[in-house]
């Protein structure tokens, strides 16, 4: 059970499930976000609003880092394939040159 004003923590694999209606945050939304002040007699911002927003930012950042990691894996795979192809082409060129 979560105490008030505390963020929930992810459990398990860290996967986050979102509805199809969820839209990712845009940079301008983060920059322009404003929080309501807390009730009368207290100072500061409503911690529930702040933690909810921070959780949303964290989810979007995790998605960006996952996409970046996938992009890097794909780049490495393509580079390795290109190196193999270049090696094969160089070998074929050398064989043709020696056959003459």
Beta bridge partners of residue 45, listed in sequence order: 37
The predicted structure's pLDDT at residue 2: 43
* Region label for 7, one of left (φ > 0), alpha (ψ between -120 and 50) or beta (otherwise): beta
Question: Above 60 in pLDDT, residue 7?
Answer: no
Q: For residue 16, name the pLDDT band (cuts at 50, 70, 90).
A: low
pTM, to two decimals: 0.56
> Over the stretch 25-76, which tens digit does the pLDDT of each residue have?
778 888 888 888 887 777 888 888 888 888 888 888 888 989 999 999 999 9
């Amino acid at each position: 059970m979560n105490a008030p004003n505390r963020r929930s923590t992810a459990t398990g694999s860290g996967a986050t499930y979102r509805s199809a209606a969820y839209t990712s945050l845009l940079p301008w939304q983060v920059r322009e976000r404003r929080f309501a002040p807390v009730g009368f007699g207290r100072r500061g911002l409503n911690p529930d609003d702040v933690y909810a927003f921070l959780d949303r930012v964290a989810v979007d950042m995790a998605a960006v880092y996952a996409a970046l990691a996938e992009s890097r894996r794909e780049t490495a795979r393509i580079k390795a394939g290109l190196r193999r192809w270049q090696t094969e082409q160089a070998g074929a060129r050398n064989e043709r040159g020696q056959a003459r």
